Chain A
Amino acid sequence: MTPSTLDALIEALRCLPGVGPKSAQRMAYHMLQRDQRGAARLASALSKALEVLRHCARCNTFTEDDICQRCANPQRDPRLLCVVEMPSDLAMMEQTHAFKGMYYVLMGRMSPLDGIGPRELKLEKLVERATDGQVEEVILATNFTNEGEVTAHTVGELMRARGLKVSRIARGVPVGGELEHTDIGTIAQALIERRSV
């Protein structure tokens, strides 16, 4: 018989994505037996994060303040609003140093077959953000999966209906990429979406 506290810990660890009963058990034993200090650090970091972090009122990403530093930065261009799926996508966009506008993080993507739609994504919050009177162009930077594409379509329609300019990031052969080593789906789509020069 495992004591119930241990059971509760194992059960709690299963809330992590991709963690089944076996992995949860391994993690629990590891933390209790081999790394109690690490476990304590995890526990306090987790409860601090839950207590302090919230969604930025403007871009919806995680922040400790009402409005995150990026949204509060007067150097950024308030006329451009880039819509991404996840904070990790925002981080990638920032690494490009190619974008000086504002962001909106959806915290997910539409997945009609899983029942995730406009309501679950709280798109009304994005509509409110985009119609602040300053945003002129909405840049759709969701993923090039079917889910990302249907999200882009939905957001695009909502924005267009409100008189905003809507654009979609381009897709095609990667920078420095050679056709020979690019997957054929990408090349096919790059051909379909070719542009005149």
Chain B
Amino acid sequence: MGQKQRVDQQPGFVLHTHPYRETSLIVEVFSRDYGRMALVAKGARRPMSALRGVLMAYQPLLLDWSGGGEVKTLIRAEWLGGQPLLSGKELLCGYYLNELLVKLLPREDAHAELYAHYAALIQRLPGETRFEPVLRAFELTLLSELGYGVPLEHDAETESPIEADAHYGYIIDRGPVRDVSPEDGLPMVTGQTLLDMAAGRFDDPKTLVQSKALLRHLIQHHLGAQPLHSRRMFKELQAL
């Protein structure tokens, strides 16, 4: 087991909370230097708990914790402020981001770049009108930061640079390949989409549609059998 250690003033966000025992919470946080952590917030469900209003998702916090096991003990959570509460569509997007992190990010594995991307994205969600491009960019950062690797710039077979006008099928863990038949069941994208994704450009409508399908395919592969609830809820909401 790990050494008992104390961490102070660690920037982080709450991703999700579960009730624990009668008055406590297990808090899943995404911290800057320690990655995803499980912390127990003792007494946080008591009506007068000072932690109650602070442990809200999508709010930048400073966290102190200690402990040696898998679940550490939250000692203090300080609200940094400056972030309006999310509402409406931006909140649904927030849930989607958090669900991706909870389900794909291993515990106690630092991802400073992903953290920076997440923090910046949460900050710009209020007032955002086009959610799709920012979600695609985050998905791509997430997959590459997790080490899954999303090769986009070269043909996986010939190693020649991607041609904008050509059509490619995408093989997971290998990358784009030309001259595939529809029977292979690979997600198909144009070279232009691959180049746009590599450059982080998601404004073109066609790029947006194709990258969405490709990234969804990759994410689902890494999730395995786990469903993404927030995605299902988007759909249910539209159907009602």
Please give the residue numbers on chain A whose beta carbons come within 8 Å of chain B beta carbons, in ascending order. Answer: 17-18, 20, 110, 112-115, 117-119, 123-124, 127, 145-146, 149-150, 152-154, 157-158, 183-186, 188-189, 192
Known A-B contacts A119-B236, A186-B53, A189-B84; A112 and B230 likewise in contact (beta carbons under 8 Å) = yes
B59 and A185 within 8 A (CB): yes
Mark the stretch among B88-96, B115-123, B164-172, B207-215 that contacts chain A.
B88-96
B92 and A150 within 8 A (CB): yes
- B240: chain A residues at CB < 8 Å are 118, 123-124, 127, 158
List of 9 A-B pairs having minimum Cβ-Cβ separation, nearest first: A117-B233, A18-B22, A112-B95, A112-B230, A115-B229, A118-B236, A153-B88, A113-B16, A150-B91
In the complex, A92 Cα to B21 Cα: how many Å? 26
Number of residue pairs spanning A and B whose beta carbons lie under 8 angstroms apart: 78
Interface assignment of B56: CB less than 8 Å from any CB of chain A? yes
In the complex, A20 Cα to B24 Cα: how many Å? 14
In the complex, A158 Cα to B208 Cα: how many Å? 27
In the complex, A118 Cα to B95 Cα: how many Å? 15
B56 and A185 within 8 A (CB): yes
In the complex, A188 Cα to B53 Cα: how many Å? 13
Nearest Cβ on chain A to B25's Cβ, whole angstroms: 12
Known A-B contacts A146-B58, A185-B53, A185-B79; A113 and B232 likewise in contact (beta carbons under 8 Å) = no
A18 and B19 within 8 A (CB): yes
- A18: chain B residues at CB < 8 Å are 19, 21-23
B89 and A153 within 8 A (CB): yes
In the complex, A18 Cα to B236 Cα: how many Å? 31
Known A-B contacts A18-B21, A113-B99, A153-B91; A146 and B86 likewise in contact (beta carbons under 8 Å) = yes
Please give the residue numbers on chain B whose beta carbons come within 8 Å of chain A beta carbons, in ascending order. Answer: 16, 19, 21-23, 53-54, 56-59, 79, 81, 84-89, 91-92, 94-96, 98-99, 102, 227, 229-230, 232-233, 236-237, 240
- A123: chain B residues at CB < 8 Å are 240
A117 and B232 within 8 A (CB): yes
In the complex, A110 Cα to B102 Cα: how many Å? 18
- A189: chain B residues at CB < 8 Å are 84-85
B99 and A192 within 8 A (CB): no
- A150: chain B residues at CB < 8 Å are 91-92, 95
Closest to A157 in B: B237
In the complex, A123 Cα to B236 Cα: how many Å? 10
- B53: chain A residues at CB < 8 Å are 183, 185-186
- B57: chain A residues at CB < 8 Å are 146
- A110: chain B residues at CB < 8 Å are 233
In the complex, A189 Cα to B81 Cα: how many Å? 10
28 contacting pairs across A/B (C-beta < 8 A): A20-B21, A110-B233, A112-B92, A112-B95, A112-B96, A112-B230, A113-B99, A114-B229, A117-B233, A117-B236, A118-B233, A118-B237, A119-B236, A146-B58, A146-B91, A146-B94, A152-B87, A153-B87, A153-B89, A154-B237, A158-B237, A158-B240, A183-B53, A185-B56, A185-B81, A186-B53, A188-B81, A189-B85
Known A-B contacts A118-B240, A185-B54; A149 and B86 likewise in contact (beta carbons under 8 Å) = yes
In the complex, A140 Cα to B87 Cα: how many Å? 13
